[in-house]
Chains A and B, each alone.
Chain A
C-alpha cells in the first residue's frame, strides 16, 4: 500500500482514520498526476517517479502538515477518557433502559399483539425469553468489540479500551422477566453483579458469565495485537 508508513504515523498521531484514508488516496492520485507531468516534460520511468515524489513533499513534511490541523483529530485520540471511560457506562445504562422500555412496551401490548398474531402463548413466552437472553448475553460483548475496534483503528494504547471493557463488565445490564397467566407478568432490569430478586439466580449468572466471557474476547484480541506489534 502506498504511503503506508505515513498512514501509520498519522493514526498514531491521532488523526481520524477517515481523514487518513482520504489523505492517502488524494496523495496517491496527486502523485499519479505529478508523474504524468514529469513524463510529459521528458523524464522517463524511474526518473519521473523520483522527481514527482520529491515535488509531493517528504513523509515528515506531509505528516507534520496533517498533525498541525487539530480539527482533524478523532474523538478517541482527543478525549480517550470520555470515549473509553465515561461513555461506555453511560451508554450501558441508556441501552439497558431503552431495552427495558421496549420490553415493557411490547409486554404491555401483548394482548393486542396476540389478537393480531395468534401465536400460542407458550411460543410467545419462549420467544421473549430467548430474545432477552440474546440481548443480555450480546449487548456488552458488542460494546466491548466496538471499543476494541475504535482503539485499534486509532492505534491507541490498549489501556484505554481495556479499562472501558472492565467498566462495561461492572455495569452489565441484565433484563429479567416472569410470565404469569393471562398476559400478566413482571419485568426487571439489573446492572452489574446485583442478584435480581425476581429471577432465577442460576439463569441470571449463566447469562452474565457468558456475556463477560464473550466481552473478554475483544480484550484478548487487543492484547494479542499489542504483543504481535
Chain B
C-alpha cells in the first residue's frame, strides 16, 4: 500500500477491512477496488497488499479459502467477527482524525 506516516498508519488495513465487509475478494480484486473507490488517490504497489492480508488473517481479522472461478484458482479473503470489531474501531479512529483535521483546516479556534 502507499507508504505510511504516523497519520496514515492503519489506512491500508481500514480500506481492506471495509471492502471485505461487502463480499469476499482475492488480492487483485482488492487492489483494483481500492484504486477505483478512492479515485486512484490511494494506488498501492499492488503486490504489497498480500503481506497485509496474511497478517490480518494471522490476527484472526480475516479468513481465506482457495476457490476456483472461471477456471482460475485464487485465494479469497473474507471478514471475520474479529475483523468486524477491528473495522469499527479503526473507522472510529479515522472519523475522529478526519473531523479534527477538518476543524483545523476550517480555521476553528476551539479544541476539537
Contact = CB atoms under 8 A, between A and B. Distances in A.
B52 A30 contact: no
B36 to A, nearest CB: 13
A71 B46 CA distance: 21
Contact of B28 (A23, A33, A62, A66): A33
Nearest to A52: B46
Interface in B28-77: 28, 31, 45-48, 50-52, 54-55, 58-59, 72-75
Contacts of A65: 45, 47-48, 50-52
A121 interface: no
Contacts of B52: 65, 69
Contacts, number: 64
A181 interface: no
Contacts of A27: 47, 50
Contact of A19 (B27, B54, B72, B73): B54
A68 B4 CA distance: 12
Contacts of A72: 51, 54-55, 58
Interface string A1-28: 0000000000000000001001100110
Interface in A152-171: none
Name A's interface SS.
helix
Contact of A61 (B48, B54, B59): B48
Contact of A29 (B28, B45, B48, B59): B28
A219 interface: no
Given A29-B74, A30-B28, A33-B28, A56 B54 contact: no
Most buried by B among A26, A61, A62, A68: A26
A57 interface: yes
Given A22-B75, A30-B28, A69 B55 contact: yes
B42 to A, nearest CB: 15
Contacts of B46: 30, 34, 55-57
Interface in A40-81: 55-57, 61-62, 65-66, 68-69, 71-72
Contact of A71 (B28, B50, B59): B59
B8 to A, nearest CB: 14
20 contacts: A19-B54, A26-B74, A27-B47, A29-B28, A29-B74, A30-B27, A30-B50, A56-B45, A56-B46, A57-B46, A62-B45, A65-B45, A65-B48, A65-B50, A65-B52, A66-B54, A69-B51, A69-B52, A72-B51, A72-B58
Given A29-B72, A66-B50, 6 more contacts: A26-B27, A27-B47, A57-B45, A57-B48, A69-B55, A72-B58
- 7 pairs of A and B residues whose beta carbons are closest in the complex: A57-B45, A65-B48, A69-B55, A33-B28, A57-B47, A66-B51, A65-B51
